């Protein structure tokens, strides 16, 4: 069986769908292909169940882009599509694709229309798309596998010592927790826990970069992040996490995971609050 996911959005939105893709692949014994923005293709190289990730510009697709997508979709024998990007153009394409089961929240091409789940943890909200095809979703049970060699390399690159490793992942974007506070935090932590090792998060968006970023996070003991991709990776890896600027309701109800501060007012978040969230108050 073959299943097609059509997923728009940035890297964090792509990562939020990883558990749903794994559930479809596992429970339907399906070979899965994903249509995603070009920048997200490297992310999908980390997913063990994805056969192919096809780049597509959802917002500014040309006629040639649609023709190429149509050819890519019609060539394999897909039995089901899950369309998270309903539009008239997508409906036209899917209606000519010969895919018998087409799940979407709207659009004339849908054979199964769903009501999206509003609020809560986005990863679990994908369950609405899976119910019509008989797939159960327990998003919090999914863990992103890391190649042993990548994990060994990441562990070897950690600062020396036997204390726990805290990975720091600022977003670096406007509205982030102030850079000076990120810089001052390690010295404040060391005054309370001298053997703690602080690790600056890696950057990069290529396939190799993403594998290294995921392995680095997996090698840490705790993650403090405002970077959306680092947050999503930490959740997929099951790491203790303090997510700056994230509403607690948008995170899984899991021990060791908490949201802190408002995304619109991170500059007002004090050092003491962050240290307390890390258990160092």
Quick: pLDDT tens for 128-155: 999 999 999 999 999 999 999 999 999 9
- The mean pLDDT value for 239-266 works out to 94
Residue pLDDT, tens place only, 57-75: 998 899 999 999 998 888 7
Q: What is the pLDDT of residue 30?
A: 96
Kindly report the average pLDDT of the chain as a whole number: 94
Cβ(18)–Cβ(7) below 8 Å? no
Residues 6+ apart with CB under 8 A from 50: 21, 25, 32, 33, 34, 44
Q: What is the pLDDT of residue 59?
A: 87
Cβ(267)–Cβ(248) below 8 Å? no
Cβ(86)–Cβ(112) below 8 Å? no
Output b/e per residue, 215-247; b: 16+ Cβ within 10 A.
bbbbbbebbbbbbbbbbbbbbbbbbbbbbbbbe
- Using a pLDDT cut of 70, give the percent of the chain over it: 100
Q: Does the pLDDT value for residue 214 go beyond 80?
A: yes
Bridge partners of 34, per DSSP, are: 5, 53
CA distance 152 to 120: 35
Q: pLDDT band for position 125 (50/70/90)?
A: very high
CA distance 3 to 277: 41
pTM above 0.85, yes or no: yes
Q: What is the pLDDT of residue 280?
A: 85
- Tokens 């998060």 belong to 201
CATH numbers and ranges of domains, the chain: 2-141 (3.40.50.2000), 148-277 (3.40.50.2000)
Residue pLDDT, tens place only, 150-198: 999 999 999 999 899 999 999 988 889 999 999 999 999 988 899 999 9
CA distance 16 to 8: 12
Helical H segments across 45-196, by residue range: 63-74, 88-95, 122-125, 127-130, 148-156, 179-192
- Using a pLDDT cut of 90, give the percent of the chain over it: 84
């Amino acid at each position: 069986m073959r299943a097609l996911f059509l997923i728009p959005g940035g890297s964090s939105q792509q990562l939020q769908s990883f558990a749903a893709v794994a559930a479809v692949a596992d429970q339907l014994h399906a070979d899965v292909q994903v249509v995603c923005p070009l920048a997200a293709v490297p992310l999908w190289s980390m997913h063990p169940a994805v056969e192919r990730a096809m780049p597509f510009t959802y917002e500014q697709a040309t006629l040639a882009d649609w023709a190429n997508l149509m050819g890519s979709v019609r060539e394999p024998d897909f039995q089901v599509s899950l369309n998270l990007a309903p539009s008239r153009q997508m409906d036209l394409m899917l209606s000519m694709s010969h895919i018998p089961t087409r799940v979407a929240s709207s659009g004339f091409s849908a054979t199964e229309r769903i009501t999206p789940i509003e609020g809560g943890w986005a990863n679990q909200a994908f369950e609405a798309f899976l119910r019509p095809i008989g797939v159960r979703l327990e998003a919090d049970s999914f863990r992103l596998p890391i190649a042993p060699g990548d994990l060994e390399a990441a562990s070897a690159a950690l600062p020396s010592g036997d204390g726990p490793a805290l990975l720091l992942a600022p977003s670096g974007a406007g509205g982030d927790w102030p850079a000076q506070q990120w810089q001052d935090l390690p010295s404040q932590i060391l005054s309370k826990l001298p053997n703690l090792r602080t690790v600056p998060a890696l950057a990069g968006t290529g396939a190799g970069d993403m594998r290294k970023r995921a392995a680095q996070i997996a090698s840490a003991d705790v993650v403090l992040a405002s970077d959306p991709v680092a947050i999503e990776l930490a959740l997929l890896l099951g790491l203790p996490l303090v997510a700056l600027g994230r509403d607690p309701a948008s995170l899984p109800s899991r021990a060791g995971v908490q949201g802190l501060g408002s995304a619109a007012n991170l500059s007002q978040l004090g050092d003491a609050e962050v240290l307390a969230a890390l258990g160092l108050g």
